[in-house]
Structure 1
Amino acid sequence: MTPEILARITTARAARDLSDLARQAVATTAETASPTERIRKARELRQLANEIVDRVVLAEALAGASWEEITRALNRRDPDTVREEYKDAVTEWDAMPEGRKTSTAAGFEDLDAWYNRHREDHEPELSTPVADLLNRH
């Protein structure tokens, strides 16, 4: 299994977690809470969204995307700065031992099941989107 695939699996997990957290935020809209608590919860959503961006960048870098393209997609200016920000993560994921790869990928079937439980009619009708990623490479 490639480091790119693992990064995409962890991106899918983070997206699932963000979706679940966002649904919880909607569910608690009418609850009485302090401004501090509401802001803290909103910051959790933003932090998780930023983590997803970082995981996508990591996966694209591991897949061979140029730093110029990644920099443009991030709406940033300096590819060297962006490369430096992600350099350690790319190196770490690229050198991940096989045992850790296996444990990182474990449970991907749960992501497919989650997607199928929450899929709306207008979304792609895929029964195994994460497993399909594993079969692609």
Structure 2
Amino acid sequence: MIGPTMTPEILARITAARAARDLSDLARQAVGTTAETISPAERIKRARRMRQMVNAYLDTVVVAEALAGADWSEITEALGRREPDTVEGEYADAVAEWSDAAEAEADAAADVEELDAWYARHREDHDPDLEKPVADLLNRH
């Protein structure tokens, strides 16, 4: 199924897809617990957890775009920031770590089919009409 060697960019994109799936599941759970009787502190903690996951997802997407060769000024603008050198510096360690992320290849490969199956189960009419969006990522390289 996996033809070419996975690049750090592809691994980061698969990790971002995994994070998006987890966020979707957590958001659905939040809707399901709307009427649940819990303390304000617990409800806030759950919301904070979701925000932390969103931030981690965003960081992974930024790293994937950097690994794909996106210009830091474009990334900075998309983040609503002003200083490309500052943003590049903030992500430098993460980009370097992902550049050496060969050991994660097996885990990512195992997730490809699972992520595509998850997408197929949850896809709605307004979503992109793709059967295997993650596998398609591998096939385009």
TM range (shorter): over 0.9
User: In structure 1, what is the Cα distance between the partners aligned to 2:86 and 2:67?
Assistant: 17
* Moved >6 Å (runs of 4+): none
| 1:28 aligned residue | 33
| 1:132 aligned residue | 136
Out of 111, 117, 122, the position equivalent to 1:113 is: 117
1:83-104 CA distances to partner (integer Å, 9 max, x unpaired)? Answer: 111101111111223x432233
User: In structure 2, what is the Cα distance between the partners aligned to 1:3 and 1:106?
Assistant: 16
User: In structure 1, what is the Cα distance between the partners aligned to 2:11 and 2:76?
Assistant: 22
User: In structure 2, what is the Cα distance between the partners aligned to 1:8 and 1:131?
Assistant: 11
Matches within 5 A, 1:85-104: 85-97=90-102, 99-104=103-108
* Greater relative contact order structure (CA < 8 Å, 6+ sep): 2
User: In structure 1, what is the Cα distance between the partners aligned to 2:128 and 2:108?
Assistant: 26
Count how many residue pairs are aligned between Structure 1 and Structure 2: 136
1:120 is paired with a residue whose SS is coil
1:106-131 CA distances to partner (integer Å, 9 max, x unpaired)? Answer: 22110000000000012112110000
| 1:122 aligned residue | 126
Matches within 5 A, 1:39-78: 39-78=44-83
Shift, 1:35, TM fit: 0.5
| 2:87 aligned residue | 82
AA at the equivalent of 1:84: G
Name the % identity: 69
AA at the equivalent of 1:75: G
| RMSD between superposed Cα atoms in Å | 1.0
Give the unaligned 5+ runs of structure 2.
Answer: 1-5
TM-score normalized with structure 2 length: 0.93
